[in-house]
Copies of this chain bind each other. A is one copy, B any other.
Amino acid sequence: MISLQGIFPPLPTAFDSRQALSTDKMQENIRYLSRYDLTGFLVLGSNGELVNLTYQEKCRVYQKCREAIPGDKLMLAGTGHQSTYETIQACQDAARAGADAVLVLNPSYYKGLMDRKALTQHYWAVADASPVPLIIYNMPANSGLDMDADTICELSTHENVIGLKDSGGNMVKMGTIIDRVQGDFQVLAGSAGFLLPGLSLGARGGILALANIAPGLCLDIYRYFMDGHLEAARKEQLNAIPLNTSVTRQWGVPALKEAMDHLGLYGGPPRRPLLPVDSEVQSTLHRLISELDIHL
């Protein structure tokens, strides 16, 4: 049984100035971030622009990132596609490349038809076929579909389904799920904005965009909480919110990449249709980074 306890950055996918995939730059980022006490890395989540890569590119990312991720750190691989068929294919290719687990976003294009039955059958088939454990990925702000607690709890009974990354931030739902599932189903916060509230309910940690640029701060919130220093955890949690909001809900992946560039990692341009942030957003990001006194 894989333990997901702790903090994971969801790695952005690197593109060069001509929009071509650059796995070299991703490997450099991984090596740099591996000096922190992170549990592992997620490749090809929403921050990894999963949807902006061709299938061949995705396979290359799985392989090249695994080469760079140390053996004592987990590689989680985003493999969700709209069809059950292509999702299974991606799970198998990610496993072949050395992923420790797959993170599967729900299909959502036919929203009106994605009821509990359709979602359950989809995930069940994928979990059956995946050579490595499956983590459910709920990301309503992007997918436009918010998986409900009943569906998630039903899926948690599959032996190959080991956890949930919830990026919706609905704490009542997170509490409902933790209350109802068996003890070894592991819930992870999907954003640093609600890491501490999530931990207070029993989340095991988080997959946090902010951990790409402020791994120390994210680890501090986590450790202070685990050690019972709640007031210190609370202080760091509140500190983390403004920068986190700016690289997630507000300006997203392009802002995260700008912040990485500013801090000496490789951010680079997002792939279109995503556009780089403008200079005003740049200034705000630099100010927020400066206020937190972040140095990698």
Contacts and interface: CB of A to CB of B under 8 A. Distances in A.
Contacts of A263: none
A113 B172 contact: no
Contact of A83 (B51, B117, B121, B238): B51
A247 to B, nearest CB: 12
Interface in A224-241: 228, 230, 233-234, 237-239, 241
A273 B119 contact: yes
Interface string A13-31: 0000001000000000000
Interface stretch (A3-11, A91-99, A195-203): A195-203
A54 interface: yes
Contacts of A253: 110, 113
A86 B19 CA distance: 12
A202 B271 CA distance: 37
Interface residues of A, number: 69
Interface in A178-216: 178-179, 191, 193-194, 196-202
Interface string A120-154: 01100100000000000000011110000000000
Contacts of A178: 238
A63 interface: no
Given A83-B51, A241-B175, A200 B118 contact: no
A121 to B, nearest CB: 7
A209 to B, nearest CB: 13
A5 B191 CA distance: 29
Contacts of A12: none
Interface in A152-189: 169-172, 175-176, 178-179
A36 interface: no
A267 interface: no
Contacts of A193: 171-172, 175
A287 interface: no
A282 interface: no
Q: Return the 10 tightest CB-CB contacts between A and B, nearest first.
A: A144-B144, A197-B197, A172-B193, A122-B273, A51-B82, A84-B272, A52-B83, A179-B238, A200-B200, A171-B197
